[in-house]
Amino acid sequence: MANCGGFHTQIASIMEVLANAAVSEICKLVDDDYAVFRLEVTQSQKENRTLRRKLHLLELKVARERAERTTRERVVASRPSSVKTLDRYRGMARGEGHLTGSHRSFVKPAGHNTWRENQPITVDEAAGPGVKQERTKGEKEPRHSGDIQTREPPVATEDPTSAPARCRTRPSITEVSGTPNTVLKSETDTETLTATHRLLHTGSDHRSDPERLGLGPLGCSPAPGSEYLPVFHQSQRTVHSRGDGDTLDTGGDVPSCSYATEMDPDDMPLGLETQADLSRGDWNHYSSSGYSEGCLNKKGEVIVIDEVTVKVEGDSPLTLNADETHLGEGHSQGRDFLDYRERLETNPNVATHSPLHTLRDRDPVSTLMGPSDSQGCILFDQVLNSKDQRANGRGGGATSGNSKEKRFLCMFCNKGFSCLQKVEIHQRVHTGVKPFSCTQCHMCFAEAGNLKRHQRVHTGEKPFSCTQCHMRFSHSSSMKRHRRVHTGEKY
């Protein structure tokens, strides 16, 4: 038994020795492998850091290049252009503004102001919920998500003449274009706030309201001290034209015929900032109450030239395109008017004046001489140039000499008039408002006198008689012209 006990003791010793040896061996192996592993990890981490630094540098470089390119583009595009204005605005409205593009590409997102490992450089999330909210509420279509992700250079980012919201971010934006590195530690909160502001602005923006498209406020205060007064207001019935051609008469006792005056609230400062000192707020007044969107065509046709829709449906290929500086071929009239308006260089807001012809059958119940109840005629933009030229050819214009001071300016052509009524009547040339309709036919006139003269066509009245041949005329000028036949006076 004693031998047996010693044997067991020896075995136990041997086992212990073996176990210790095995443990030490294992530990050694583990240590070696761990050292190798740590070495590999360290090398990988170093490599990662190097790559990350390179990536960061590349991003900065790209951002800098974009900023420079944007600056150049802005210089090129600095000339005043209403079309560009619209384009810019469209970009803003679609979320392509300063919240997108390169600005966002190098503005780090909120809460990511410090560089962290594995943090993606992409800043698609930079704008945060504010931008998404804007896109969904303000624009209601996610069609430009690609724009946001593609980091296109945002022209509107540094547009100094863009929307009021943009103005709030201008300083920082300028900083962006100059020193992108600085931006990496700024802008985030500003951008978020800007998005919020724009969202709030959009919320009150009438453009977003389909019922009031084109009648949005301008958000501009009148320019004080304006010596001349552009006249915007015309007391007339507001006829709301809807997309289905229905018209909603909102009352009033005056002309029913007018046309849409789409004021772009965000565009307004853009244009007006470069304008003379025309009263700004009155545009708002004008757009919100002066003119309506629809007009009756005397033929009862539905003619919709809806540039309001044009804007809203900004993706339409026929509409203003952000990549284009002109309207589509299908909007030559609007383009002409834009050109016309651009020539004037004083009232950029007229750009989107859109004659809207809507159908509404009506009873010929209009009064004989007074403004008609519902009928009106419309003039189209294509006649504006010739008419204005004709008018100017007659010595029109704000500077035409007259005994009375012409302090009432037409907001369309700047022509001056001595009294408010004159300019209001004159502006019907541009607006196509013809509140005086004939009860015998469907002719309509912008002036009561012309209607009265027209009435003679139906009555057969010819109050002007020639003293030489007893011919009679309903038109005084016709009689005067006729007299040349007798006098031999050349035409």
Partner DNA sequence: CTGGGGATGGGGCCC
Partner DNA sequence: TGGGCCCCATCCCCA
Pick one of 98, 103, 360, 428: the residue that binds DNA (CB under 7 A). Answer: 428
Q: Are 199 and 191 in contact (CB under 8 A)?
A: no
Q: Please report how close the Cβ of residue 460 comes to DNA at its closest, in angstroms.
A: 9
Q: Which is nearer to DNA, 210 or 449 (CB)?
A: 449
Q: Does 480 bind DNA (CB under 7 A)?
A: yes
Pick one of 325, 369, 399, 465: the residue that binds DNA (CB under 7 A). Answer: 369
Give the footprint of DNA on residues 429-468 (CB under 7 A).
429, 434, 443, 445-450, 452-454, 456-457
Residue 465's beta-bridge partner residues?
472
d(CA 110, CA 186): 9
Q: Does 421 bind DNA (CB under 7 A)?
A: yes
Strands 444-445 and 303-304: unpaired
What is the contact mask toward DNA in residues 396 to 415, using x (rule: CB under 7 A)?
A: x---x-xxx----------x
Return all residues near 7 (Cβ < 8 A) that are at least 6 apart. none
Q: Does 385 bind DNA (CB under 7 A)?
A: no
Q: What residue type is 87 in one-letter code?
A: D
Contact region for DNA (CB under 7 A) — 111-119, 272-280, 360-368, 380-388? Answer: 380-388
Q: Which is nearer to DNA, 303 or 391 (CB)?
A: 391
Side by side, which strands form the sheet with 356-358? Answer: 295-296, 356-358, 303-304
Q: Please report how close the Cβ of residue 156 comes to DNA at its closest, in angstroms.
A: 37
Q: Does 379 bind DNA (CB under 7 A)?
A: yes
Instruction: Match 């061996």 to its residue by tokens.
Output: 25
Q: Please report how close the Cβ of residue 303 comes to DNA at its closest, in angstroms.
A: 16
Q: Please report how close the Cβ of residue 437 comes to DNA at its closest, in angstroms.
A: 11
Q: Does 299 bind DNA (CB under 7 A)?
A: no
To the nearest 10 degrees (0 to 180), the angle between helices 82-93 and 332-344 is 120
Q: What are phi and psi of 474, to 5 degrees?
A: -90, -10
Dihedral (Cα; 437, 443, 447, 451), 10-degree rounding: -90
Contact region for DNA (CB under 7 A) — 166-174, 261-269, 321-329, 383-391? Answer: 383-391
Q: Which is nearer to DNA, 88 or 434 (CB)?
A: 434
Q: Please report how close the Cβ of residue 95 comes to DNA at its closest, in angstroms.
A: 41
Residue 240's beta-bridge partner residues?
248
**135 token code pair:** 């896109």
Q: Please report how close the Cβ of residue 162 comes to DNA at its closest, in angstroms.
A: 34
Measured from the Cβ of residue 168, the count of other Cβ atoms closer than 10 Å reads 16
DSSP state of 221: P
Q: Give the count of residues interacting with DNA (CB under 7 A).
A: 51
Q: Does 228 bind DNA (CB under 7 A)?
A: no
Q: Which is nearer to DNA, 274 or 478 (CB)?
A: 478
Q: Where would I find the beta strands (DSSP E) of 9-88?
A: none
DSSP string of 87-140, one letter each residue:
HHHHHHHTT-STTSTHHHHHSPPTT--S--TT-----TTTTHHHHHHIIIIII-
Contact region for DNA (CB under 7 A) — 68-76, 273-281, 298-306, 475-483? Answer: 475-483
Cα distances (Å, whole numbers) of residue 396 to 230, 415, 417: 16, 7, 9
d(CA 172, CA 187): 7
Q: Please report how close the Cβ of residue 387 comes to DNA at its closest, in angstroms.
A: 4
Cα distances (Å, whole numbers) of residue 54 to 59, 68, 107, 329: 9, 21, 18, 48
Contact region for DNA (CB under 7 A) — 9-17, 87-95, 145-153, 375-383? Answer: 375-383
Q: Please report how close the Cβ of residue 414 comes to DNA at its closest, in angstroms.
A: 11
Q: Are 247 and 241 in contact (CB under 8 A)?
A: yes
> Which residues form the interface with DNA (CB under 7 A)?
369, 377, 379, 383, 386-387, 390-391, 393-396, 400, 402-404, 415, 417-422, 425-426, 428-429, 434, 443, 445-450, 452-454, 456-457, 471, 473-478, 480-482, 485
